[in-house]
Amino acid sequence: MNTADQYLKAIYLIQEMEDGPASTGALADMLDVSPASANEMIGKLEARDLADHEKYKGVRLTDEGIRRARDALQTYCIIERFLANVLDVEDFRGEARELEAVIDDTVAERLDTIINRNPNCPDCFDAETDACRELEVECEKPAD
């Protein structure tokens, strides 16, 4: 997964939580980047026909953007579940965020065979708790 996929995933989750476009500010906050960086990537996603941005209203993913975001979210869930359920890593969220940018599809598919993924993935992801519902650990909403 690359940086663009991380942005797509974040936009997708914000759209789901807000039931509408993702604001640049919300996107920047979720990814812990500056609004200027978020705006720059939104422009790149728009140029690739993965997103539509309307000034002062926010950004929405195109159908292809949604497909890629769901793939990225599924990979994130696989990493998160592997770290939490198999390796019992305490800070599985932080580690998953670090790893998601470097884990390719082949590695994700191999991890997937170990965790026995739920067929509903990535719909198993709960944006409010920032965690997969299939985790075998208790999850609370992360602090802001």
- Percent share of the chain, pLDDT over 70: 94
* Separation in Å, CA 129 to CA 42, 56, 99, 140: 25, 27, 19, 6
Phi first, then psi: give them for residue 132, nearest 5 degrees: -70, 135
Q: Does the structure show a pLDDT above 80 at 138?
A: no
Angle at 131 between CA 127 and CA 132, to 5 degrees: 105
Q: Which CATH number fits domain 72-131: 1.10.60, 1.20.58, 1.25.40, 2.40.10?
A: 1.10.60
Domain residue limits, the chain: 4-66, 72-131
Whether 85 shows a pLDDT value over 90: the answer reads: no
CB distance 71 to 11 below 8 Å: no
What is the structure's pLDDT at 37?
Answer: 94
Could you read off the pLDDT of 94-107 as tens digits, one per residue? 898 889 888 888 89
| Cα–Cα dist 18/38, whole Å | 18
pLDDT digits (tens, 9 = 90+) for 115-136: 877 777 888 888 777 777 777 7
pTM (2 d.p.): 0.84
- We find that the CATH architecture of domain 4-66 is Orthogonal Bundle (1.10)
Rounded mean pLDDT of the chain? 87
The reply to whether 4-66 and 72-131 are identical in fold is: no
Q: Where is pLDDT greater, at 128 or 50?
A: 50
33 neighbors 22 (Cβ within 8 angstroms):
no
Question: Residue 11: which residues within 8 A CB-CB, separation 6 or more?
Answer: 22, 27, 45, 51, 59, 60, 61, 65, 69
pLDDT digits (tens, 9 = 90+) for 4-22: 999 999 999 999 999 999 9
